[in-house]
Amino acid sequence: MRSQAVQCLTDLLKQRSGLMLGDQGAHTIESRLLPIARSQGLEGVVQLCELVGRGAKEELLAEITEAMTIGESSFFRDIKPYEQLRHIIFPMLMEKLADRKSIRIWSAACSTGQEPYSIAICTQEDAAKMPGWKFEIVGSDLARKAIDKARLGIYSQFEAQRGLPIRMLLKYFTALPDTTWQLKDNIRKLVQYTPHNLLEDYSALGKFEIIFLRNVLVYFDEATKAQITEKMANSLQPHGVLMLGATESLADPHERFTPMENIRGAYRLRAG
């Protein structure tokens, strides 16, 4: 019966977010959804599945979906993309956009905010090389709880130190009395957060010069990946760059993208 419940809730997640949990699905569902089941006065996930089957309220369905989609994140995860951003992508775009000095960046499925804040820190580290340039960074995620945490910019000692050099920690964070760390206002103000489901419309977000979609596509099936790829193509400026995770690939049946030379995981729109 428990396996049937796991399948029921996995199907719910796929329907509402497009995500597939893979081999870790059962464990993830048990650990993340038991507190929700208990809050509803239920014994466990089996009873929660039964409630969903009877027609649960939208608020509960959203809570279940979000609980299963909050992903793991860290500052400067896989440092290479951030080095490429600073030393290759920024200079390239600065040459193309010298007349307007403005770059929009989207961190899609950003979880609790470490990725967009890492991007923001990159812009500050190179501020002397980019006088007068304006950066607008948008972080989005399906899980509203993750977005709420990201907006606060407060992280535990473990979260703050994970992937973050001590020099940057002391430069860009303030130590709080409860042993947590909060990003300073000048970094937090660089990032705007908004809830967003990658299966839904992207037009309200506008167009971007850079899109980070790292460590996300691996959780979708090929058909859903193709849908997201097409939407990403429509959200990218003609001169823009799409960044994927090191082990990811696009599902691009319409051949909208072409890989960039010498930049791992980076794609540009195909000319014409």
123 or 271, which is more confident?
Answer: 123
User: In the numeric block, which tokens belong to residue 227?
Assistant: 């849908």
Distance CA 165, CA 87 (A): 18
Query: Residue 185 to residues 50, 154, 190: CA-CA distances in angstroms?
Result: 46, 12, 9
Q: Residue 199: phi, psi to the nearest 5?
A: -80, -15
Distance CA 254, CA 21 (A): 27
pLDDT band of residue 272 (cuts 50, 70, 90) is low
Question: Residues 229-248: pLDDT tens digits?
Answer: 999 999 999 999 999 988 88
3-state helix, strand, coil in the chain (%, to 5): 50, 20, 35
pLDDT band of residue 70 (cuts 50, 70, 90) is low
Q: Give the helix/strand (H/E) hosting 238.
A: strand 236-244
> What domains are there in the chain, each with its CATH number?
2-69 (1.10.155.10), 80-269 (3.40.50.150)
- 189: exposed, middle or buried (C-beta count within 10 Å: 0-12, 13-18, 19+)? exposed
Q: Residue 191: phi, psi to the nearest 5?
A: -115, 130
Report the SS3 class of residue 147: helix
Evaluate if residue 95 carries a pLDDT over 60.
yes
State what percent of residues in the chain have pLDDT above 90: 61
Q: Give the helix/strand (H/E) hosting 141.
A: strand 134-141
Rounded to an integer, the average pLDDT of 95-116 is: 96
> What is 22-65 written as a DSSP string?
GGGHHHHHHHHHHHHHHHTT-SSHHHHHHHHHHH--HHHHHHHH
Per-residue pLDDT at 71 = 66
Distance CA 195, CA 218 (A): 21
* Strand order across the beta sheet in which 154-155 lies: 154-155, 181-183, 173-175
Residue type, 218: V
Report the SS3 class of residue 69: helix
| Pairing outcome for strands 208-213 and 102-107 | parallel
Query: Residue 257 to residues 85, 247, 263: CA-CA distances in angstroms?
Result: 19, 17, 14
* Strand order across the beta sheet in which 102-107 lies: 191-195, 134-141, 102-107, 208-213, 236-244, 266-269, 257-259
Evaluate if residue 1 carries a pLDDT over 60.
no
Question: Mean pLDDT, the chain, as a whole number?
Answer: 88
Q: 174, 184 in Cβ contact below 8 A?
A: yes
